[in-house]
Amino acid sequence: MAPGDRMQTITPVLLAGGSGTRLWPVSRKRFPKQFAPLMGDETLFQASARRLSGEGFGAPMVLTASDFRFIVMEQLEQAGIAPGQVVIEPSARNTAPAILAAALMAAAEDPERLLLVAPSDHVIPDAAGFAAAVRSGAEAARAGRIVTFGITPDRPETGYGYLELAGTGEGPQPLARFVEKPDAASAARMLAAGNFLWNAGIFLFSARAMIESFRAHAPQYLEPVEAAVDGAVPDLGFLRLARGPWEGVEDQSIDYAVMEKAANLSVVRFSSGWSDLGGWDALWREELTAAPSADGVVADAHSTAIDCHDVLLRSDSEDLQVVGIGLRDLVVVATSDAVLVADKGRAQEVRKAVSSLKEKRRKQAEAFPRDHRPWGWFETLALADRFQVKRIVVKPGAALSLQSHVHRSEHWIVVSGTARVTVDQTVTLVTENQSIYVPLGAVHRMENPGKVPMVLIEVQTGSYLGEDDIIRYEDVYSRSSAD
């Protein structure tokens, strides 16, 4: 493709490394909200990727954490979207280093390439309208402007930062200033003024313009991020940034590092609906917008509301029914291992609950009962002293690592599908209702050679049952931690 053609195509850059806690217990560090189907059947990540695809958009670049790389690929495949590059950040360093890394990688092919950076956990129902807003800002971006997208506010929101416009009219407008999250009175004044927009954290720019902005306003990022990009190594179709230089990068948002200092910013107004789903109150509001309710009740298929008003009731399982009677202004969210009950007006304080659980060393603070792995997932059904029972699901064609354990033996019972099991030098096909024993210390592997998911029950016995009791000999996923 010639450079001139690339200039007409916008490369989406999806930021998918976050581990937000404000939607706990559904969103946790080990499986954050962007990968969960919070609204409808698609996950927020899939909806974001689909929204930034089609005419005018190139294959997306995704920046994510190592723990999420296989989830990213699986969800893109399910959505029918082929990524251009999935880039693994060695550690979380906020948006400034991630965006600079994306610009440097794009500039290596074409400095004038346009990049559209967007979080992967936002809700924008009007995809066509948003695409039109992006197109309206493309000419300014090609001319060297950094274009940001401001959301027309519909309430005096104190949870968002604001953009003050310096101009009026249609199309990209010059930005007067960024405004930090305001108090209620200031938010009301800005809403009434009409020239303040919510800061959506979505940016359109050429690779060259962003690199030059870092050089002018945050030069301390250039050397370590360039070194991390130059030292990046392929890893099973992913690109892993070099850890050494990346660890030395300052943890900072793009707003503080560059945007608040740059003079070449323009703002495109978007008025068709947007949410960052920054809390359960935001999800309640979005669900009501999609399906209005006279009493303000949002209840999923596993919940029942009786004489309730302005409440959100949610359960992730039909085996756990949530019933509310006479509730007002509450959020009730249940998962298989945790229940949140909160005043809807204090939904932003959910992170305090997560911090408290961390202090108590409760696993619910960060981990789910269901643990997702590149080969499938497992969940613990029973755990006691010296034994554990798990349900394990292995995707078609997938395989666990060749491994052994120092402290435990395992008994596997296949309940659906067929497993190819290696125990030391013996390979056996184990079908439904059959079982096999893996002695302590045996080198073993489990594979699914079939076309449907394979389900088995694993019974572990031993003096220590932690996931770190694994000696790995081979792994098709090149992992360095326990699977």
Mean pLDDT by 10 residues, the chain (483 residues): 53 90 92 92 96 94 94 94 94 96 97 97 95 95 96 92 86 92 94 95 98 98 98 93 95 94 95 93 94 95 98 95 98 96 94 95 91 92 94 96 96 97 96 96 96 97 93 85 45
Please report the pLDDT score of residue 19 as a whole number: 75
Please report the pLDDT score of residue 481 as a whole number: 47
Q: What is the spatial distance between Cα 252 and Cα 255, in angstroms, rounded to a whole number?
A: 8
Dihedral sign (CA 15, 19, 23, 27): positive
Q: Strands of 435-438's sheet, edge to edge?
A: 370-373, 376-384, 387-394, 454-462, 408-416, 435-438
- Amino acid identity of residue 287, one-letter, is E
Q: Domains of the chain by range and CATH?
A: 3-270 (3.90.550.10), 280-359 (no CATH), 370-474 (2.60.120.10)
- Amino acid identity of residue 93, one-letter, is R
382 CB neighbour count, 10 Å cutoff: 9
Q: Of 361, 364, 434, 258, which is closest to residue 31 (Cα–Cα)? A: 364
- Encoding tokens for residue 37? 């189907």
CB-based contacts of 76, cutoff 8 Å, min separation 6: 46, 49, 62, 82, 83
Rg of the chain on CA atoms, in Å = 24
**278 secondary structure, DSSP code:** -
Please report the pLDDT score of residue 237 as a whole number: 87
Q: What is the spatial distance between Cα 447 and Cα 465, in angstroms, rounded to a whole number?
A: 22
Is there a contact between 38 and 145 (Cβ–Cβ < 8 Å)? no
pLDDT tens by residue, 134-179 = 999 999 999 999 999 999 999 999 989 999 998 777 789 999 999 9
Helical residues (DSSP H) of 279-325, grouped into ranges: 280-290
- Encoding tokens for residue 138? 């493309």
List, in sequence order, every beta strand (DSSP E) within 344-423.
370-373, 376-384, 387-394, 402-404, 408-416, 419-423
Please report the pLDDT score of residue 2 as a whole number: 40
Question: Strands 10-15 and 61-65: what pairing?
Answer: parallel
Question: Strands 196-206 and 402-404: what pairing?
Answer: unpaired
pLDDT tens by residue, 359-410 = 999 999 998 888 888 999 999 999 999 999 999 999 999 999 999 999 999 9
Q: Of 113, 110, 112, 68, which is closest to residue 92 (Cα–Cα)? A: 68
Please report the pLDDT score of residue 483 as a whole number: 42
Please report the pLDDT score of residue 3 as a whole number: 40
Whether the full predicted model's pTM is greater than 0.85, yes or no, is yes
Please report the pLDDT score of residue 8 as a whole number: 65
**152 secondary structure, DSSP code:** P
294 CB neighbour count, 10 Å cutoff: 6
Q: How far is residue 449 from each of residues 399, 420, 434, measured CA to CA in Å?
A: 9, 7, 16
**172 secondary structure, DSSP code:** -
